[in-house]
Structure 1
């Protein structure tokens, strides 16, 4: 996970140590691709990362270490230090630090050095050259303890490891976040091991790569299965109380809460359950938390086993959703998971009891399993027993199920956060394939204006060309995507309309925002349609210099647009086009803009790129829509 300032440090300093006065494995070493004990037996470490001391020093104490050992059944702790909070390259300081730390602690057999956290570079030769300098400084004082080297592109591109570093007892760091790392990343990890590189997962999370989003149970379990099968050690991120879902503790906790089950997040409880199911070689005296072993229950945390039907596991989500949306989300929670469908009055009673315990009071309506066999309005449970309840809602989903609908939740009228935009300042919007774009226009003409092939756009980081978002332009709408997730759909208005675009929720279709023209021809507003709020004002800028360039064919548009809320600058959009590059649009954010505003600025950039940068395709869309309206 990229951590704002610290991700820019050349040396993001960490020491990993399996704690205890008498470490159970003795002197750790590396044999082949395996971490081993002093006798050469394969060893697997599992543990927790304590959040960086620069920002959360309150967790850096013996109480936290003891709780991680005894309440989290962990045999390794990753302790992260940064040279400065601001982040910079500090090779000379790093050399001094590792020389000093290895001189003081090098005689302890249970220390591991991780010398470079998440190098942003992709050049493995460069990373090796820097790493060797630090390794050699450590080896002057400590010839035996394990050293973990950083790997290309934030410890995520193991495939770029071409040649090993020629030093002893060395491993290579790997980082993953389950929701963002699929089976392909696991396959690369396995291939890397087979190529002779011993890997150590010094940081992983159960959520997405930004440290947020939902806990991905299925992907987390796939990664655990792989790592356990190959004896790969791993450390979870993290013991901390930020508001991110990756954190193991809820916000507002402290060191005394690390041992308190009720202060753990959903991710923390999942990781703890996993660790408690393993033999870590940890010995503790006194009281410590021991949950029911996972093997005694078929239901993974936080699913709850049914007593009426032990083959069923329930999970409660405190969120109002449409049935179709809820069904899709439910399918993502676990393999073969579906919305609850109750087959008997006994299951109904059990669900009511469980729901009162696990849900908020306002969410008291559920998908149930009645059936109307004779289509005469007489509903029974699927087991054939009659239902005594008759006051059903008139709405009916099907002959096999009824549901009393909840009121639309507020989140279904708002844009979901897009965290990937928050760590980038300058983006570029570009057409993926200009030849495909040209073919789309030709195809439209060939097929007598009745067929429109979608056009694909990429929204990329300006400096790295990393694809952050995608967009697809259809005749009916413009869809913005994060991976496979629809973020919003945009309806392009015609030239005569006072609105140049209408932004709709991707699931409900509710209109959330409109980009509206004002009385001043050089100004627009982004207007909130649900809360009746004015998000921002957009001003058009131009210059004589740009107009001259335009007349010479260097640039297709002499204007750029500035976004402000009251007097606060939020960002700007401007064209990037000359004779040496394709038409594209630059999007620049200020630090004042939140994730929703950034997505709206990107949306505006896409709309103006289509309307102004590619007027021919905009005219085609207008004509297509008019033909459909008349037909």
Structure 2
């Protein structure tokens, strides 16, 4: 009897140990699943963030982040000098067919642009004053394309005259909606023509104040008199009290040569941050022959100083500076046969970077 009890005890003990081992294995498996599950969830969250904000990955904006101005130099989020290279769209109210995210994607992937410029017309028919909603839709189409593709975008108030109230409305909307995106650069006055620097400065200060109410950090570009030629004037009397400001220089290489480069070099030597927000190889009229020699001198001059440059323009007007022919598809996908001489050479220049 005692022997039988001993055998029964041994059987129970073995059964207990067996169940304990099984439970232990199950417990181990469950723990492993619980440990693994958060990693999967975190990965999913990261993917969701990347999907919503493409600048979170290894794009141009993902690498450089929010830009700022250090002395006379544009720098990235690590404080390293950065120069951006890209193209400007033509006036939105004259060439709206190219104002869509697909052309931005094409320019980024095929032309290697790191920045595009949305030239939002103000005064002509169909411009912001005539059709504010249409202007905002055009601007936001290019902004969306830039954000989706991780490149920078200049939101350009493309006017030759001071339109203070309209500019305030426009930049209030843009800054309020897009202040959290590092892609955005504001250009508050495309090309002042006959306004004096004190007039341009006073206007710019008011627009900067409007932008900074919502966007404390993205870079703001300020124009200067005589179609952004008199870069020496803001160098003598710059805007103070705000950070991350730069001043725009425009050149057309067949017209503007060594004299303008010398003027700009002196302004930079005084500490003025310069951004070439519009340029091209032909005459200042936008027409005439391309002066490739002078154009290359300008590119070399800018690259030596790590100055960003934009080339004009993505449009199909019958003039030299319009890069596209009438055959160019509104959504991108342009072949060599769709490009005019300026477009072909611009693409060559951009693909070096």
TM-score normalized by structure 2?
0.71
Tell me, yes or no, if the aligned pair for 2:87 and 2:117 is still in contact at 8 Å: yes
Residues 84-233 of structure 1: pairs in structure 2 closer than 5 A: 84-86=123-125, 89-161=162-234, 162-166=236-240, 167-233=242-308
Q: Following TM superposition, by how much is the alpha carbon of 1:93 offset from its aligned partner in structure 2, in angstroms?
A: 1.4
Alpha-carbon distance in structure 2 between the residues aligned to 1:250 and 1:20: 32
Question: Residue 250 of structure 1 corresponds to which residue in structure 2?
Answer: 325
Tell me, yes or no, if the aligned pair for 1:121 and 1:127 is still in contact at 8 Å: no
Mapped pair 1:76 → 2:115: yes
Q: Following TM superposition, by how much is the alpha carbon of 1:259 offset from its aligned partner in structure 2, in angstroms?
A: 3.2
Residues 48-447 of structure 1: pairs in structure 2 closer than 5 A: 48-86=87-125, 89-161=162-234, 162-166=236-240, 167-257=242-332, 259-278=334-353
CA shift in 2, pair 1:65/1:37, >3 Å: same
Alpha-carbon distance in structure 1 between the residues aligned to 2:258 and 2:305: 15
1:273 aligned counterpart, secondary structure: helix
Which segment is superposed worse, 251-260 or 128-137? 251-260
Tell me, yes or no, if the aligned pair for 1:118 and 1:152 is still in contact at 8 Å: yes
Alpha-carbon distance in structure 1 between the residues aligned to 2:178 and 2:64: 17
Alpha-carbon distance in structure 2 between the residues aligned to 1:65 and 1:117: 21
- More helix per residue: 2
Tell me, yes or no, if the aligned pair for 1:71 and 1:259 is still in contact at 8 Å: no
Q: Following TM superposition, by how much is the alpha carbon of 1:261 offset from its aligned partner in structure 2, in angstroms?
A: 2.0
Q: Following TM superposition, by how much is the alpha carbon of 1:34 offset from its aligned partner in structure 2, in angstroms?
A: 0.6
2:316 aligned counterpart, secondary structure: coil
List 4+ stretches of structure 1 deviating above 4 A: 86-89
Tell me, yes or no, if the aligned pair for 2:98 and 2:330 is still in contact at 8 Å: yes
CA shift in 2, pair 1:21/1:49, >3 Å: same
Alpha-carbon distance in structure 2 between the residues aligned to 1:196 and 1:174: 15
Q: Following TM superposition, by how much is the alpha carbon of 1:215 offset from its aligned partner in structure 2, in angstroms?
A: 1.2
Tell me, yes or no, if the aligned pair for 1:179 and 1:216 is still in contact at 8 Å: yes
Tell me, yes or no, if the aligned pair for 2:100 and 2:331 is still in contact at 8 Å: no
Q: Following TM superposition, by how much is the alpha carbon of 1:20 offset from its aligned partner in structure 2, in angstroms?
A: 5.7
1:180 aligned counterpart, secondary structure: coil
1:202 aligned counterpart, secondary structure: strand
Q: Following TM superposition, by how much is the alpha carbon of 1:89 offset from its aligned partner in structure 2, in angstroms?
A: 4.3
- More strand per residue: 1
Unpaired runs of 5+ residues, structure 2, are 1-52, 126-158
2:123 aligned counterpart, secondary structure: coil
Alpha-carbon distance in structure 2 between the residues aligned to 1:165 and 1:241: 37
Tell me, yes or no, if the aligned pair for 1:249 and 1:258 is still in contact at 8 Å: no
Q: Following TM superposition, by how much is the alpha carbon of 1:251 offset from its aligned partner in structure 2, in angstroms?
A: 3.1
Tell me, yes or no, if the aligned pair for 2:229 and 2:249 is still in contact at 8 Å: yes
Question: Residue 5 of structure 2 corresponds to which residue in structure 1?
Answer: none
Alpha-carbon distance in structure 1 between the residues aligned to 2:116 and 2:179: 17
Deviations 1:198-238 (A, max 9, x none): 01000001100001111111000000000000001000001
Question: Residue 461 of structure 1 corresponds to which residue in structure 2?
Answer: none
State the aligned residue count.
260
Q: Following TM superposition, by how much is the alpha carbon of 1:253 offset from its aligned partner in structure 2, in angstroms?
A: 2.4
Q: Following TM superposition, by how much is the alpha carbon of 1:239 offset from its aligned partner in structure 2, in angstroms?
A: 0.7
Identify the structure with bigger relative contact order (alpha carbons < 8 Å, sequence gap 6+). 2
Alpha-carbon distance in structure 1 between the residues aligned to 2:332 and 2:213: 40
2:65 aligned counterpart, secondary structure: coil
TM-score normalized by structure 1?
0.40
Tell me, yes or no, if the aligned pair for 1:257 and 1:263 is still in contact at 8 Å: no
Tell me, yes or no, if the aligned pair for 1:248 and 1:268 is still in contact at 8 Å: yes
Q: Following TM superposition, by how much is the alpha carbon of 1:97 offset from its aligned partner in structure 2, in angstroms?
A: 1.3
